[in-house]
Chains A and B, each alone.
Chain A
Amino acid sequence: MRAAFAILACFIAASLVRAENHITWEITPPVCGPGQPFRLQVRIESDDILGGANQVGREIKPPRGMVLRYSGQVFRANATEATLNFSGVAPEEEGNYVLPAFNARFPSQVVLVPAITLIVSNKTGYRKEGRARAELVLPERTFYVGEKIAGGVVMRGSEQETVTGSFGLECEAEGFTFQTEGSSFTQPLQDGLGLMKPFDLTPIRAGQSEFSLSGIMLVNTGDRISSLNISGRDRPFNFRRKLTVEHVPETGRPADWGGSIGKLEITPPDLSNRFPEVGEPIKLKLTLVGEGNLERIIAPEIPGTDTWDIALASELRQRRSEGRRTFIYTLVPRLPGDLKTPAVRFPTFNPDSKKFETVEFVSVAVKVSGNAPAKVELVTIDPSAKVGTPAAKMITGLLTPTVAAGVKGVAKIEPLAASQPFWLSNTGALVALLLATAVISVVGYFAAHPEFLIRRRARANLRRARAAAQDAYRRQDYAAYARAMTQGLRTGAAPLLKAEPLALTQSDILRALPTASPTLIEAIFLAADGEKYGAKDPRQTIAEDAQLQAMLNTLEAQL
């Protein structure tokens, strides 16, 4: 019986517990201009299935001057949430207008929506009437080479002329680089009647130059051409402004300044493991946020210490518009104990205050366990890298240079291969060697074959003898003719018989000239040597000059 009562009590208690409702709302825009249309969305979340709301419009009592209409419910069957949409027009006077609490009646329950306040202000830039116009948003100050200037074109519309888009943005500015996030990237203004086209401008040289920006915005004039077509028109805009650019001042510039210009802020350093062992790599993630040329900052060097080996493991590249930059370092503890990660400073130049400022990532306490090894090698592999990816490049830092004074160096670093004397001397030596080789070879050849020179010499002597004979023939000097002709025959026959010329007799000549006339040869020898032996008249031999010349020719041809 007692158990039955307990079960009944539980059942009654469960049925008496009311469902908890959670109600939120959103007004778009959050702050309205006088007479500006707005949208109110009320979201109800319940523990029960809600279903469709009934007669919501009748429950609402908007304040004086405000028009509000219930425009429907986003309905989903068997859902425990409901979204009620209202559209309205803000009052014409500034102030806070309270929409009284009202009931939303659902089939399962009645939900009380609390009072909602609408703020109406003239400062929203909302215009009920007027032409759409474009405004250039660019700081009015001196710019610095290398900084990133965030600018934009605000295209404001009105109820009559709504800006729906823009295209053809062009910039003409010498000494600047101009970048946008993309032709389609625009941000809607809060009042929903205009657009904002952001851009980045980076000066690349000092001086004064004219900045010119032009483009076209698409304006919806609201004239209805047909049931499906609403008329619109292109409206161009153009801005010109003189900009002054200077270099970042050198006075007060920190030595470790890495080119950062802007207003930087730091986030707390993120350490992958606060309780590593000796030699176990951990990752230190440092993230910079803020306005400035974050993408141009050079990763600072963190030199290794007695307690840490440090390497720049990787760098998270964010999109330019994200306004943050992250450097990740790999730290390897060398020694056990309570250590602190090194503090990292980022000097930056603030273009507004025109001064250098420094942000610093503070040290993080780390408790290192294990024993101190004799030597801890610098880690070469990023522990977070996927398998198969190449190891990250390591930082070793610059070594401290030492320069000895008074050491003579070279005026110009040129290779020996570019030296003309080197090649000239080598070429000269090679040519001389080849010439010497050729000469020695020729001389050696003639030394090995002396017959060439002997015959050559005999040929020359034979020609001289023939010339002497011809000369004697003209002078009718019979004895001289016979001597010259005999000498010619002896000289010509000697190499053929490998004998000395003076040793040759008539019979020897006949051995060299078998076809010659023995009588004629004997006659010429007798005429030449006739004085010794009582020779015949040598005139007879002169008469045979043609035959004798033929003999000499035969001998010369054989040489």
Chain B
Amino acid sequence: MSRYLSLLALWVLGATAPLQAGVGEAAYERGDFVGALQTWRAQAEADGVTAELLSAIGNAEWKLGHKGRAMICWERALLLSPRNPVALAGIKHALGAGGTDRPTQTWSENYAAFLGADLWLILGAIGFWGTLLAVLVPKLRRQTMGDWTQRILITSATLFALSIPGLYGAYTLASRAVVRRTDVPVKLTPTVLGEALNGTAEGDVLRTGRKLNGHTYVTSADGKGGWVKSTELEPIWGGALPVNLDQPRAP
């Protein structure tokens, strides 16, 4: 009986003990990027991803030469924490020394990046409901607006108006994807044999538009548009760790 109890205790300890802190950082420091990556990936699969974890994985992927994966990780880290220093430095480094391209952000996107998409939506919802209730409630109660109601109305309406460019910027920021393959042609038509207009490289960030015939309309950093196979892109929103595009080994 005691043997079973001790086994149970060991199982409970093993299941609940957090991954040893600092193992990934130590591996990263001594140049074992594969080891660091494995540690952090295991942590992400166990506990979910955070901005710090994603930016760390991005650094390790970059060191291993996986530009596309690194950019995905850094961009997603910025979605969780718009001012994460490691992710910001990584993207700056990739744009400067790594040769990757990223569309210049518009003023509304810079505005949206100040708080993050979710916070803008919450603020917008609060402003909308505040404005609506401040207008409707006195009417329903057949009363004139009091001082406090007017203050709430002005505050809510201002909040709602300020959140509109943030929501628009967050929407355009969400319409981006990272090129995951090397030397991807940007085609004139969304067809397999479409004429290649120019090319993009792994790690480039593109603005995405409509989808057709397994292709996505993209606009590159220099403003050139064209069609790219959807399987060669990975959207920034809607995932955690980068998708594994490597072909599975034959059994």
Query: Which residues of A line the B interface, CB within 8 A?
Result: 255, 259, 298-299, 301, 312, 393-418, 422, 426, 429-430, 433, 436-437, 440-441, 444
- Say whether A416 contacts B122, CB under 8 Å: yes
- Say whether A395 contacts B96, CB under 8 Å: yes
Instruction: Tell me if B164 counts as interface (CB < 8 A to partner A).
Output: no
- Inter-chain CA distance A404–B49, complex, in Å, is 11
- Say whether B97 contacts A413, CB under 8 Å: no
Bin the interface of chain B by size.
Answer: 35 or more
- Inter-chain CA distance A417–B52, complex, in Å, is 23
With A405-B18, A409-B44, A411-B240 as given contacts, are A400 and B49 in contact (CB-CB < 8 Å)? no
Which residues of the other chain, B, contact A398 by a CB distance below 8 angstroms? 59, 62-63, 86, 89-90, 93
- Say whether A407 contacts B117, CB under 8 Å: no
- Inter-chain CA distance A417–B123, complex, in Å, is 12
Min CB distance A385 to B, Å, is 15
Which residues of the other chain, B, contact A403 by a CB distance below 8 angstroms? 21, 24-25, 40, 43, 50, 52-53, 56
Which residues of the other chain, B, contact A299 by a CB distance below 8 angstroms? 97
Name the contact of A405 in the complex, choosing from B20, B65, B92, B238 (C-beta under 8 A).
B20
- Inter-chain CA distance A400–B240, complex, in Å, is 21
- Say whether B140 contacts A394, CB under 8 Å: no
CB-nearest residue of chain B relative to A444?
B142
Task: Give 6 new A-B contacts, CB below 8 A, not counting A406-B18, A429-B129.
Answer: A401-B86, A404-B50, A411-B48, A413-B240, A415-B118, A415-B170
CB-nearest residue of chain B relative to A430?
B132
- Inter-chain CA distance A153–B18, complex, in Å, is 62
12 A-B residue pairs with CB within 8 Å: A259-B65, A400-B29, A403-B21, A403-B52, A405-B43, A406-B47, A410-B50, A413-B80, A413-B239, A415-B121, A415-B170, A441-B140
CB-nearest residue of chain B relative to A204?
B182
Name the contact of A404 in the complex, choosing from B52, B96, B125, B239 (C-beta under 8 A).
B52
Min CB distance A544 to B, Å, is 51
Residue from A298, A416, A441 with most neighbouring chain B CB atoms (10 Å): A416
CB-nearest residue of chain A relative to B33?
A255
Counting from the closest, the 5 A-B pairs by CB-CB distance are A409-B48, A401-B56, A405-B21, A406-B18, A255-B31
Name the contact of A414 in the complex, choosing from B53, B129, B237 (C-beta under 8 A).
B237
- Inter-chain CA distance A301–B98, complex, in Å, is 10
Min CB distance B152 to A, Å, is 16
CB-nearest residue of chain A relative to B65?
A259
Instruction: Tell me if B95 counts as interface (CB < 8 A to partner A).
Output: yes
Instruction: Tell me if B79 counts as interface (CB < 8 A to partner A).
Output: yes
- Say whether A417 contacts B117, CB under 8 Å: yes
CB-nearest residue of chain A relative to B23?
A405
Min CB distance A545 to B, Å, is 49
Min CB distance B85 to A, Å, is 6
Min CB distance B92 to A, Å, is 5
- Say whether B97 contacts A407, CB under 8 Å: no
Chain B 33-52, CB-CB to A under 8 Å as 1, else 0, gives: 10000001001100111101
Min CB distance B64 to A, Å, is 10
- Say whether A415 contacts B92, CB under 8 Å: no
- Say whether A407 contacts B125, CB under 8 Å: no
Min CB distance A150 to B, Å, is 22
- Say whether A396 contacts B122, CB under 8 Å: no
Which residues of the other chain, A, contact B117 by a CB distance below 8 angstroms? 415-417
- Inter-chain CA distance A404–B21, complex, in Å, is 7
- Inter-chain CA distance A403–B53, complex, in Å, is 6
Min CB distance A135 to B, Å, is 32
- Say whether A400 contacts B19, CB under 8 Å: no
Min CB distance A345 to B, Å, is 13
Which residues of the other chain, A, contact B55 by a CB distance below 8 angstroms? 401
Which residues of the other chain, A, contact B188 by a CB distance below 8 angstroms? none
CB-nearest residue of chain A relative to B171?
A417
Which residues of the other chain, A, contact B140 by a CB distance below 8 angstroms? 436-437, 440-441
The A-contacting residues of B in range 224-251, CB under 8 angstroms, are 237-240
* Main SS at interface, chain A: loop
- Say whether B80 contacts A405, CB under 8 Å: no
- Say whether A408 contacts B47, CB under 8 Å: yes
- Say whether B49 contacts A413, CB under 8 Å: yes
* Main SS at interface, chain B: helix
Name the contact of A402 in the complex, choosing from B52, B65, B93, B136 (C-beta under 8 A).
B52
- Say whether B238 contacts A412, CB under 8 Å: yes
Which residues of the other chain, A, contact B111 by a CB distance below 8 angstroms? none
Which residues of the other chain, B, contact A417 by a CB distance below 8 angstroms? 117, 121, 170-171, 174
Which residues of the other chain, B, contact A397 by a CB distance below 8 angstroms? 89, 93
- Say whether A401 contacts B59, CB under 8 Å: yes
- Say whether B118 contacts A412, CB under 8 Å: no
- Say whether B132 contacts A410, CB under 8 Å: no
Which residues of the other chain, B, contact A255 by a CB distance below 8 angstroms? 31, 33, 63
The A-contacting residues of B in range 119-143, CB under 8 angstroms, are 121-122, 125, 129, 132-133, 136, 139-140, 142
- Inter-chain CA distance A528–B238, complex, in Å, is 83
Which residues of the other chain, B, contact A436 by a CB distance below 8 angstroms? 140
Instruction: Tell me if B76 counts as interface (CB < 8 A to partner A).
Output: yes
Which residues of the other chain, A, contact B93 by a CB distance below 8 angstroms? 301, 395-398
- Say whether A395 contacts B97, CB under 8 Å: yes
CB-nearest residue of chain B relative to A300?
B97
With A259-B65, A405-B43 as given contacts, are A433 and B136 in contact (CB-CB < 8 Å)? yes
Min CB distance A438 to B, Å, is 10
With A402-B25, A404-B21, A416-B121 as given contacts, are A410 and B80 in contact (CB-CB < 8 Å)? yes
Min CB distance A354 to B, Å, is 21
Which residues of the other chain, B, contact A414 by a CB distance below 8 angstroms? 237-238
Which residues of the other chain, A, contact B28 by a CB distance below 8 angstroms? 400-401
Min CB distance A211 to B, Å, is 21
- Inter-chain CA distance A406–B95, complex, in Å, is 32
Name the contact of A399 in the complex, choosing from B20, B76, B85 (C-beta under 8 A).
B85
- Say whether B121 contacts A410, CB under 8 Å: no
- Inter-chain CA distance A277–B121, complex, in Å, is 53
- Inter-chain CA distance A460–B92, complex, in Å, is 80
Which residues of the other chain, B, contact A430 by a CB distance below 8 angstroms? 132
Name the contact of B96 in the complex, choosing from A396, A407, A411 (C-beta under 8 A).
A396
With A399-B86, A400-B28, A437-B136 as given contacts, are A410 and B49 in contact (CB-CB < 8 Å)? yes
- Say whether A408 contacts B19, CB under 8 Å: no
Min CB distance B21 to A, Å, is 4
Which residues of the other chain, A, contact B22 by a CB distance below 8 angstroms? 405
- Inter-chain CA distance A64–B140, complex, in Å, is 126
- Inter-chain CA distance A418–B139, complex, in Å, is 34
Which residues of the other chain, A, contact B43 by a CB distance below 8 angstroms? 403, 405
Residue from B97, B133, B239 with most neighbouring chain A CB atoms (10 Å): B97
- Inter-chain CA distance A159–B168, complex, in Å, is 77
- Say whether A413 contacts B76, CB under 8 Å: yes
With A395-B93, A398-B93, A399-B89 as given contacts, are A412 and B239 in contact (CB-CB < 8 Å)? yes
Which residues of the other chain, A, contact B122 by a CB distance below 8 angstroms? 416
- Inter-chain CA distance A430–B53, complex, in Å, is 39
